[in-house]
Structure 1
Amino acid sequence: MIAAIAGVIMSGIRDDAGDLVLNHELYTIAARRPEFRDIAERWIQRSRTALEQHLPPDLARDVDAYIEGLTLHGALAPNHPSMSQVVHSLRRILQDPDHE
């Protein structure tokens, strides 16, 4: 499971900068204009609901926040984390050092 989540993160960082920008523009407009908050909240909830198929709600929230932060950094930074770095971070978040 960790490798699958890491794969999704890595493909999101590497493959489509336009989607990353659009995602962050949604969050920016939702932060500035309340009429867009419902759209952003539904987007966030869909992501968490997908993660909750595999994780308890509290861990799904934590992993979702990690994904959002990492994709923001990925959109802005010239160097992206490696797959092994992402897997290591997810293991720490999930407190699962021995299992995939």
Structure 2
Amino acid sequence: MDEPITDGRRLKGLRRRNALIEATLRVIERDGVAGVSHPVVSQEAGFPTSATTYYFSSLDDLLTAALTSVMEEDSQRMRRLSSGGDRRRDLAVLLAEVVREPGRLLAEYELFLLAARRPHLREATDGWLAAVRAFAHCYTDDPVRARVVAGAIDGLLLHSLLTEQKPSADEFEEFLKDLLPDPR
């Protein structure tokens, strides 16, 4: 477990770095990855341009940090869902919440697709895919089905970005029950 940061300067630096990552995600949500620049992100965060260049030596470093941040957050959430309760229902509710406010989801998938072009970014996306497959393994030992579930969830989320009518939690639950039936 990580030790809590007690040094005020380090804590302030971590907060600034996180604020820049959040600003990057807002810029991507609004303008796409192509809209990310040091000045734009700094302005979005309310910091001088020197802040982004202090914490991130290049735009690639900034995009890597943003992708890593969202993939780690999503992976942790998926791992928590794997640990008990009504797993499919809990995931269905989460997916329905995510698609209701699609801006963040759009930013995440822009970064996710960027990893397809930049192999060094795939470590972050691999964590998300592994967490989804681990969730699937709560219902099946079949590695092929687990990969299909991961692809289906990403596909459903991407499709939701293309439609005005977003799937409800009940609809997501039906999809998940079809993909991951109860063991017999």
Secondary structure in structure 1 of the residue aligned to 2:150: helix
Contact 2:132 2:149 in 1 (8 A): no
Report matched runs for 1:1-100 at 5 Å. Answer: 1=86, 2-15=88-101, 17-49=102-134, 51=135, 54-56=138-140, 58=143, 59-96=145-182
Superposition RMSD on alpha carbons, in Å?
A: 2.3
Q: Would the alpha carbon gap of residues 94 and 47 (structure 1) be closer, same or farther in structure 2, given more than 3 Å must change?
A: closer
Which string of whole-angstrom CA distances, capped at 9 and with x for unpartnered residues, describes residues 27-59 of structure 1? 21111122222222233224444x267444535
TM-score, with normalisation over the residues of structure 2? 0.43
Identity of aligned residues (%): 30
User: Larger Rg: 1 or 2?
Assistant: 2
Task: Write the letter of the residue equivalent to 1:68.
Answer: D
Task: Write the letter of the residue equivalent to 1:81.
Answer: P
Distance 2:136 2:172 in 1: 19
Q: Which has the higher contact order (CA 8 A, sep 6+)?
A: 1
Aligned residue pairs total 94
Query: Where does the alignment leave 5 or more consecutive residues of structure 1 unmatched?
Result: none
Query: Where does the alignment leave 5 or more consecutive residues of structure 2 unmatched?
Result: 1-85
